[in-house]
Structure 1
Amino acid sequence: MSTYSIKDLEQLSGIKAHTLRIWEQRYNLLLPKRTDTNIRFYDDADLKLILNVALLNDNGYKISKIAGMSGVEMKEEVIKLTEKTLTHDDQINALTICMVEMDEERFDKVLSTNILKIGFEQTMLNIIYPFMSKIGVLWQTGAINPAQEHFISNLIRQKLIVAIDAQIYKGGGKKFLLYLPEGEHHEISILFAAYLIKLKGHKVIYLGQSTPDDDLDSVYNLHQPEYLMTVITTSPSAENVQEYIDVLSERFNNAKIIVSGYQIVGQDIKLPKNVKSLNYIRQVREYLEEMEEVTIEK
């Protein structure tokens, strides 16, 4: 069982801690537990409750009415709402509830509904990425546990793989080799890049997580791609990333190398001539469109 402070509940739900305390006193909405040293804390059931309350309250339900609902009634109302057109924040809140409950069926339904309404790309950019950023921060602060983070990441990864497989390469375009460096396992961004590149009609050679240098060399020499792309989130580390980029540039000096990720964005990295950094994953589409414009001009 995970435990949460009232600040954790505030970050997860968007409801101010002061408001939560008022609701505790006025409606007995939450019943905090206490440690042996008398420090207040909340459990998974409290988090699920407050996430449902936040979603209902944001959509016009009065707190007095919400407080009178049973758990089953509250969940039914939330399900009805998430099947309607809601704001992106509401959908992110709904996904957070699914994460806490580890409800795969409900998570899949929320995602599928959004994909049908606004398309896969916009669902990724406007819902999944903000959601992933939110849970990434919460995981680092201990507000959610690694199992919950892995559960969600794997479900999103499955969606991405299905979307990529649906894009049939018909020949032509450029050749992209996508990979993650040895020790790097954060795959969501590089998978989404693969989807966008394939969607634009280019060929994608995907090596995936933690690619050994020898494997990268072998595949590059075999396919001779025009573009090499990677995302560096944790590996190599900040103190080694400049050297890694420099060596990468020299090893593949005939390719255009595209890099992104936490260890790149906003860091003081000197990029060689054949290396370009992208600050945000949405820039992948922009970069591909710029490539098309250059090709048309030629």
Structure 2
Amino acid sequence: MNNIKVNFSIKDLENLTGIKAHTIRIWEKRYNLLSPNRSDTNIRNYSLTSFQKLLNISYLNNNGLKISKIASLDEEQIPIKVREIASRAKVEDHAINALKMAMINFDQVLFYSTYNNLLENKTFSEIFYSVFLPLLNEIGMLWQTNTITPAHEHFLSVHIKQKILLNTERLQLLEPKPVSKTFVLFLPENEIHDIGLLFVNYQLRSKGYHTIFLGESVPMESLTDLLDFFEDITFVSYFTVYPEAKDMLGYIKTFNEMLLNSDKTNLFLLGKKLSEANLEDLPKKVSIFNSIENLVKVL
């Protein structure tokens, strides 16, 4: 329990809930919704209970309840109202809040119960696109602002990876397409963020394609070995942190010269890092996709 974050600054609450610090202060003063502790220098400090309550308040407010109405509810009525609305409203928002709580508390039971509840009405792909992906994007920002620690991010990432791997393994039972094209999925050297690539692999496998998943930090020259085994290869990579923007075009052009000499070899690229570089002068056998969904559509 010593690893659980139990105290939050008002900036932490703003980052975690999306409610501006100014608004939180107004809600405290006007409606007495939260009761922060204060330091000797009068700096607000919020408990885990306050964070959970504010998540619930934010959810109710985003689903049409006026803040004055929420303030009139008894303390124990707020989570009841949340569950009531979640049962008929947009379940994704409620799930994202629950998964945030699971992350903050390192609560595996809450993670699994939230995921299993989603599975009752959604496919795994729908859960990834509508819940996991928005949550991961938000978690990246929370980590950058020091609202959460790397341990929190790793907790969430590992559990999402487990779900991707489990669902990918289940695809082994599918009848594969005739092996005419092979997708080789890899991350460049020093790149270790593999959730997006794992999900691309899952999507390709679900469509019956032959894939080879090589994972993180693969030296470019080692990929040449694949050319001896397969003729029709589409390499797929995901740039989250590396290569650096200044090195990216050089990396792609070197890749083109080293690995894309055949008419049947191509490179598909995804990842937020791509937006940081000027990539107008791309080799013709290199394609950039702004989302996994767009890549899947062209297959």
Seen in structure 2, the aligned counterparts of structure 1 residues 68 and 3 have a Cα distance that, compared at 3 Å, is closer
For residues 138 and 195 of structure 1, the distance between their equivalents in structure 2, rounded to whole angstroms, comes to 27
Pairwise CA RMSD of aligned residues?
A: 2.6
Report deviation, 1:99. Answer: 1.6
1:273 to 284, 287, 291: 284
2:267 to 251, 257, 280: 257
Seen in structure 2, the aligned counterparts of structure 1 residues 78 and 217 have a Cα distance that, compared at 3 Å, is farther
1:222-255 per-position Cα deviation (integer Å, ceiling 9, x unaligned): 3344200000111121111111111111111121
For residues 101 and 55 of structure 1, the distance between their equivalents in structure 2, rounded to whole angstroms, comes to 19
Q: 1:138–1:144: 8 Å Cα contact kept in structure 2?
A: yes
| TM-score with structure 2 setting the length | 0.84
Q: 1:176–1:202: 8 Å Cα contact kept in structure 2?
A: yes
What is the DSSP-based 3-state SS (H/G/I as helix, E as strand, rest coil) of the residue aligned with 1:240? helix
Q: Number of residues paired by the alignment?
A: 285
Report deviation, 1:128. Answer: 1.2
Q: 2:270–2:290: 8 Å Cα contact kept in structure 1?
A: yes
- Whether 1:233 and 2:243 are equivalent positions in the alignment is no
Amino acid at match of 1:281: I
Q: 1:15–1:54: 8 Å Cα contact kept in structure 2?
A: yes
- Whether 1:149 and 2:159 are equivalent positions in the alignment is no
Seen in structure 2, the aligned counterparts of structure 1 residues 78 and 146 have a Cα distance that, compared at 3 Å, is farther
- Whether 1:282 and 2:281 are equivalent positions in the alignment is no
Q: 2:196–2:238: 8 Å Cα contact kept in structure 1?
A: yes
- Whether 1:175 and 2:185 are equivalent positions in the alignment is no
1:249-272 per-position Cα deviation (integer Å, ceiling 9, x unaligned): 111112110011122136311311
For residues 32 and 232 of structure 1, the distance between their equivalents in structure 2, rounded to whole angstroms, comes to 41
For residues 223 and 78 of structure 2, the distance between their equivalents in structure 1, rounded to whole angstroms, comes to 51
Report deviation, 1:147. Answer: 0.9
Q: How does 1:1-298 map to 2 (within 5 A)?
A: 1=5, 4-35=8-39, 37-58=41-62, 62-64=69-71, 66-69=73-76, 86-168=90-172, 170-172=176-178, 174-253=181-260, 254=262, 255-265=265-275, 267-269=277-279, 270-288=281-299
Seen in structure 2, the aligned counterparts of structure 1 residues 276 and 47 have a Cα distance that, compared at 3 Å, is same
Seen in structure 2, the aligned counterparts of structure 1 residues 284 and 112 have a Cα distance that, compared at 3 Å, is farther
Report deviation, 1:14. Answer: 3.2
Seen in structure 2, the aligned counterparts of structure 1 residues 217 and 65 have a Cα distance that, compared at 3 Å, is farther
What is the DSSP-based 3-state SS (H/G/I as helix, E as strand, rest coil) of the residue aligned with 1:205? strand
Name stretches of at least 5 consecutive residues in structure 2 with no aligned partner: none
For residues 79 and 63 of structure 1, the distance between their equivalents in structure 2, rounded to whole angstroms, comes to 14
Report deviation, 1:67. Answer: 4.7
What is the DSSP-based 3-state SS (H/G/I as helix, E as strand, rest coil) of the residue aligned with 2:19? coil
| TM-score with structure 1 setting the length | 0.84
Name stretches of at least 5 consecutive residues in structure 1 with no aligned partner: 289-298
